[in-house]
Structure 1
């Protein structure tokens, strides 16, 4: 994707007609919103180049799909959505600079997206002091309690805790963690350790590597010597592909778990991912009317490409924002934030809504990769998010 394509303002004219609008629970379209003139401006900010390129394209596509559908169905209370796309390049500086641009120059009503936790931390250093809404759409380490920050991705008690419950009962009581060296793997490792110990298990060791690591061989030698019952990987983006190649070539004979694996990875690298286990809020194999419509609309717009939980959570965020604006009768940030806790959306994964900690109630589905697809091992259902001490 060229630089001009990821930074220019885009409207419905660039998107074409979307599929039929999915159901949103709200109170209708108050006259105050209809009376406001001009488009509603949304910022999309994420890693479209750099480490997270493999995930950023799908995330952007799902954002575009939601906007296209909403605009084709008269927009938000009769107002079209206009959006600006910015690439944070999966860097702290990029996230800060682009968040500032979206707020100060473009004057967006809300910002949606982001993948790597280092970028949500960086973007929040801009959006929270400015009292502007940021909707983060990737599973992450949790522990954020801020009025202006909402998450539609899973947090540890929705993703890590259920996984550990099954893994310790079925794979064994010990694990070895390999991850990228930033906030998501490091803080998640603390959650894994606590969950393992609660089930009588143990984390034998945890190692973290800089982005762009090309040789995991020495670490895999240490894994072999430690002899864990299963290996837990939290390498990010393209580094996960590098790790999978080397993990498979070592022939350790150990079960691999990674909550970073999804349909995008499995369809891109079916041989590398075969047999690996992951926990996500969404897999393409979910059987529901809403998911069937979602996949068909995505295919019509972008072709036969895979969709993952990050993308689906982005799609959900746009619709939840729409519902909140219509309930609030305003795009004013404080009013929208108050309304976000009162709306829900019939998402492809099922009904989603925000708890009092601003995290979405979402699915927890444990599945095993099988030739590009995912076979469900256990569906834990919708899990309420827990952020200790947080009630907003």
Structure 2
């Protein structure tokens, strides 16, 4: 397999053991690698990086510790915004200093994707014996923290489908594109996917802001678009198939249970400023009104916000009992971290519709006590989920990112697509849509025919992950 290898070398005055001890300290003066943030160097530990792209541009990224030798070597598996490996050697010099050698490796599959994302080529070559299946997701930008586990779960589903004979004798080929959590970039990426010869369907795991830009393109090109995350209602078309939770599904039973647990009646609504968080706010108002509670205030901010001080101050000033926090990805992590640091976590409970195992890992102790209701949490104790997690670990290793609810939803959607195509007798849109009415997939989630959710899990963040509290019914049939 071809790969791109980048090397750098520097001589430093500090000794190897001193440099090793500085790794993960978060001090930007130490450079992009040693200025990263890491709570430990145990295998699988999360590492947050700020990567230099030249001319002063920087992009956030994540990696995981694969192994290390104290004072001598650190090996990382790079996750976002691209997959690869980083190996750092610390060689002792005779004068007490260190020769620092860094090797960065990116394999050919990631190079193909990155080349397409940066516009160096416009399509992916697909062989006659392959069925292309697109995945449009966020590998960078605010929602990039969910990207790698999403790609992993999509690839796992494709591997399993191919091991079971493929699609009518042809192997499925996963074609990945990054929307960078930006609707404009998402539209460019979707246009590129639509141009892939024979594209059977596109699976979307990204913001509803991107969906608003890309769904008309799928319809115009006659390509089924399987949209998997929690999302608000939107214009319908037979080719636009939704799998995720709706805001009212998540809130209609969970908010009354939280109010019952706290004895509080006052709610503050906040999130990023686009259609989905606003829809969550509208659903929350409906549920709070039904409980005869009070909405004490609302505050929405743009994607990519760094300082949430004004919103947190407004929450503190109104003396609310609960907040509904509809932030996405890195914004979610920053808001909840700053909210916890403000001291308000002890008096104000949080319901966060995108809180899952991936977000909790990034938040650490500051996530404790947050509630959410989703179709999947990694802690669900079922035979199907235990087998699924075992296959995930076997395929991607112990240093792979935890399975998020968003990623598992993509896994189920791809299997549901394959089941529907087999039932319908082909990969054409008409065959898929015909089979979708009568087929389904039995995975970890509680789903009926066509992948429709039958129930959700109420979860609470703890220092060790998300704990499942209860199983809740959905609000009713999707409109």
Assess same fold via TM > 0.5.
yes
Deviations 1:60-93 (A, max 9, x none): 1100010011112221232210121111111111
Of residues 379, 400, 405, the one that matches 1:285 is 379
Query: What does 1:64-213 align with in structure 2 at a 5 Å threshold?
Result: 64-171=155-262, 172-213=264-305
Partner of residue 316, structure 1: 412
Partner of residue 275, structure 1: 369
Structure 1: runs of 5+ lacking an equivalent: 10-36
Q: CA RMSD in A?
A: 1.9
- Secondary structure at the counterpart of residue 60 of structure 1: helix
Deviation at 1:144, TM superposition (A): 4.0
Deviations 1:226-281 (A, max 9, x none): 11111111111101111111101111121111011101111233212111111111
Matches of 2:300 and 2:245 in 1, distance apart? Answer: 22
- Paired residues of 1:42 and 1:81 also in contact (CA < 8 A): yes
Deviations 1:337-357 (A, max 9, x none): 122121111111234433xxx
Distance 1:7 1:206, change over 3 A: farther
Partner of residue 24, structure 1: none
Matches of 2:280 and 2:198 in 1, distance apart? Answer: 34
Distance 1:169 1:146, change over 3 A: farther
Partner of residue 112, structure 2: 8
- Paired residues of 1:96 and 1:125 also in contact (CA < 8 A): no
Deviations 1:280-320 (A, max 9, x none): 11011111111111000111112233111111110001110
- Paired residues of 1:264 and 1:306 also in contact (CA < 8 A): yes
Deviations 1:16-35 (A, max 9, x none): xxxxxxxxxxxxxxxxxxxx
Deviation at 1:111, TM superposition (A): 0.1
Of residues 344, 367, 374, the one that matches 2:459 is 367
**Higher RCO (C-alpha 8 Å, min separation 6):** 1
Query: What does 1:50-65 align with in structure 2 at a 5 Å threshold?
Result: 50-65=141-156
Q: How many residues align?
A: 356
Of residues 430, 433, 446, the one that matches 1:337 is 433
Deviation at 1:164, TM superposition (A): 2.1
- Paired residues of 1:155 and 1:385 also in contact (CA < 8 A): no
Higher strand share: 2
Distance 1:112 1:385, change over 3 A: farther
Select the structure of larger CA radius of gyration. 2
- Paired residues of 1:362 and 1:384 also in contact (CA < 8 A): no
Matches of 1:235 and 1:384 in 2, distance apart? Answer: 22
Structure 2: runs of 5+ lacking an equivalent: 1-81, 84-105, 114-127
- Paired residues of 1:158 and 1:362 also in contact (CA < 8 A): no
TM-score by length of 2: 0.71
Matches of 1:162 and 1:38 in 2, distance apart? Answer: 48
Distance 1:117 1:53, change over 3 A: same
Distance 1:7 1:205, change over 3 A: farther
